[in-house]
Amino acid sequence: MTKLAMRGGAPVRSKPFTSWPMHDETERKALLRVLSSNNWGGYPSPNSEATAFGQAFAAQHDAEFGVCAANGTVTLQLALRAAGIGRGDEVIVPPLTFVATAAAPIYVGATPVFADIRPQDYTLNPEAVEAAITPRTRAVICVHLGASICDLDRLTETCRKRDLILIEDCAHMHGAKWRGRGVGSWGDFGSFSFQTTKLMTAGEGGIVITNQARFEKRLQSLINCGRREMLYEDADIEWLGHNFRITEFQAALLRAQLLRLQAQNDIRAKGYAQLDEGLSEIPGISVLEVDERNTCRTGYQYIFRFDSAALDGRTKQQVLAALNAEGIPADEGYAPLNRRHELLPEDSLHQWYDTTQHQPKFDDAGCPVAAQASQESIWLPHEIVLGGPEDVQDVIAAVKKVANNAGEIA
């Protein structure tokens, strides 16, 4: 009988998967180009590498403008500030996401309001958004999660009708297309992260894309200490901004990374389709739905589900431990933010809110679909498919072995 690796059997996978991030001579040359230019910093802002990258990245996503910034947390905050959102305003966010999505409204003094996700693909539910709208609502931040794109048709329609700003949090989705048009260009703003594990990286970094010139101007000013133009005289500071500029080294690295994004996304699309097919045949395992309007599939994480009852009542932690022992770097993903009271302890609220203000509501019973998703979902990092079909087959074989022998899990 097959023995699980956690019980002393041979693991399905004993060699590592493709390591991430990836680089070659293109990155090396780009870094040396900046090094020898002696023009290393973020100003004049935007500097030349940042300008070239911002334009190329925006064009790749069918947007007109791209403003680079320090990371994908501040890019969300910048989008909110550029849209004039702040104290007293409410911003609708999904609960199953990285903390930055809900933290960004808090940083600008606005209140995040959680709306549940859809069971079929774990993205923000447009009906839950409608139900969460109040007279204070000013914006929606939707998250293209894992490898699922939100229903951008419904969300853009709702935001247009209700006069709300739509910010797409695309931290997981570089290069994805919805009905042939780049993610991030459907809403008023698209926000991306270039942190180390993301689909493109400079170690850290972020970008906001937009099609609106007035927003681009504000974003450029906000990242450059509130200066009016590219200048650096103090007299040009017109409002309170931040130094959120990126360095020329980062921008040059990102220009190199952008060159191979599409080829890597093609491999991801094939790998994810192979996972869909292989995993959906395993009893007790199911995959998320892929919307047919997702015309260029990619994603930072491949997420699938297990049914504890079908797997001898095993918990997520037990299934994860069994998969990890088989050599698969699966992990638990996010816990719903609406249930994480510790994120905003009362004694720190005064930093962002006055006590009379409407404050974020943490709700243990709210967003049941997100709670269920966090219990049943298993997350795989994107690089696991970059090695090609044989690597993907190992993942499928390991999940099958664990599911078929769930009774053996310690």
Ligand X SMILES: Cc1ncc(COP(=O)(O)O)c(C=O)c1O
Per CB under 6 A, does 77 bind ligand X?
Answer: no
Return the number of the residue (170 or 369) whose C-beta is nearest ligand X. 170
Closest distance to ligand X from the beta carbon of 170 (Å): 8
Closest distance to ligand X from the beta carbon of 97 (Å): 5
CA dist 322 and 309 (Å) reads 17
Angle at 307 between CA 113 and CA 365, to 5 degrees: 25
Return the number of the residue (67 or 409) whose C-beta is nearest ligand X. 67
**Contact set for ligand X, span 8-67 (CB under 6 A):** none
**Contact set for ligand X, span 94-153 (CB under 6 A):** 97-98, 100-101, 143
Closest distance to ligand X from the beta carbon of 59 (Å): 22
Return the number of the residue (169 or 326) whose C-beta is nearest ligand X. 169
The residue at minimum Cβ distance from ligand X is 72
Per CB under 6 A, does 220 bind ligand X?
Answer: no
- Contact with ligand X (CB under 6 A) among 169, 391, 394, 408: 169
Return the number of the residue (170 or 395) whose C-beta is nearest ligand X. 170
Return the number of the residue (199 or 267) whose C-beta is nearest ligand X. 199
Question: Of the ranges 46-54, 92-100, 112-120, 341-349, which one interacts with ligand X (CB under 6 A)?
Answer: 92-100
Closest distance to ligand X from the beta carbon of 192 (Å): 8
Question: Of the ranges 34-42, 45-53, 71-79, 379-387, which one interacts with ligand X (CB under 6 A)?
Answer: 71-79
Per CB under 6 A, does 246 bind ligand X?
Answer: no
Per CB under 6 A, does 250 bind ligand X?
Answer: no
Per CB under 6 A, does 73 bind ligand X?
Answer: yes
Closest distance to ligand X from the beta carbon of 73 (Å): 3
Query: By the criterion CB under 6 A, which residues form the site for ligand X?
Result: 71-73, 97-98, 100-101, 143, 169, 171-172, 193, 195, 206
